Structure formats: structure tokens, C-alpha cells
Amino acid sequence: MNTTPVADDEQLYRSIYRTPWHKYVDPDGRPTSRNFKLPPKDADKLSVDCFSLTTPEQSVRDLAKFALASIANNEVKAIELSTFYDPCTVAEHGFDNPAHAYIWGLAEEDDIKPALLAQKAVIVLS
């Protein structure tokens, strides 16, 4: 695990899968708790990008398949989660993403913090 913390005032981007017929956001166009639930592949951490090191367009990669949510890192820290840089490199991951970071501290059985994260997040690109 990288030990460089993300600054409190950083904004974090998280991609949200969508299809033309299903947006996977709520009727008000806001993220849902399921957008912040731990995925099985990452086990105990949630993948995000740091606003100051990327652009919304770079972060979302494919706007036909993903929308982009944004949340302030101080909101993440307010519910006792931590964010650490974890840049992706071609050598290790097969692609380059210097803005990549992980939110740590979510538990598999926790469905409260994903809901709290969703309440504080907004869609910035869709």
C-alpha cells in the first residue's frame, strides 16, 4: 500500500457504469450507495482519481459507458476513511494513470459508509 495520503482539500473522481437504457444513478441523477460499495476485485479498497492530477474526460475514459461522480476527500475522511495515492504504471498495470488513488477503510459488511459517500457525491460528467 502506498503511504502518501491525498490532501484533505482534494476532490476525488469515481467512474459509474451506465448503459443507454440504465443509468445506475437515482431518479434525481445522483450516485447511489451501490456506486461506492466495495467491488469483489478490489477486496478492501475503492478506486478513485485525484482531481488535481487529471481531467474529468481523462478520468471517465469512455463517456459512452461511464458517468463521473465527484466527492471531496474531506467528506471521505469525515466518515473515518483514508485516501492514499496509488498511481498506475504501464509496467505494473498495463496503463498509465498518475491520478489514481484508493479509499481505504471500507468493510465488506458495511452498507452504511457507501450510502454516506453517495449522499456527499455529485455527478460531474454524464
Partner 1 sequence: MFDTLDFAQDILTQQTNPVQSGTDVGASSLNRQHLTAIVSYQHLTDGWDEDGAIAPSHATVLSALDIALLLTATGHLVYHTSPGPVGEVMINLRNGDKSVELLAYPGGRNKFVCIAPSEVPRQGPLTPESLRETLQWLNR
Cβ atoms of residues 71 and 117 within 8 Å: yes
- Does position 38 bind partner 1 by CB under 8 A? yes
Quote the least distance from Cβ 27 to partner 1, whole Å: 6
| 3 state SS of 85 | strand
Q: How far apart are CA 6 and CA 20, in angstroms?
A: 34
- Does position 17 bind partner 1 by CB under 8 A? yes
Q: Which of 3, 4, 41, 94 lies at the binding interface for partner 1 (CB under 8 A)?
A: 41
Cell digits for 107? 468493510
Q: Which of 34, 55, 63, 93 lies at the binding interface for partner 1 (CB under 8 A)?
A: 34
> Which residue's CB is nearer to partner 1, number 41 or number 90?
41
Interaction residues for partner 1, span 75-94 (CB under 8 A): none
At position 42, the amino acid (one-letter code) is D
Instruction: Give per-residue burial for 64-94: e unless 16+ CB within 10 Å, then b.
Output: eebbbbbbbbebbbeeebebebbbbeeeeee
> Which residue's CB is nearer to partner 1, number 10 or number 113?
113
- Does position 44 bind partner 1 by CB under 8 A? no
Q: Which of 8, 9, 26, 57 lies at the binding interface for partner 1 (CB under 8 A)?
A: 26
How many Cα atoms occupy the beta-carbon half-sphere of 90 within 13 Å? 0
Residues that bind partner 1 (CB under 8 A): 15, 17, 22, 24, 26-27, 32-34, 37-41, 65, 108, 110-112, 115-116, 119
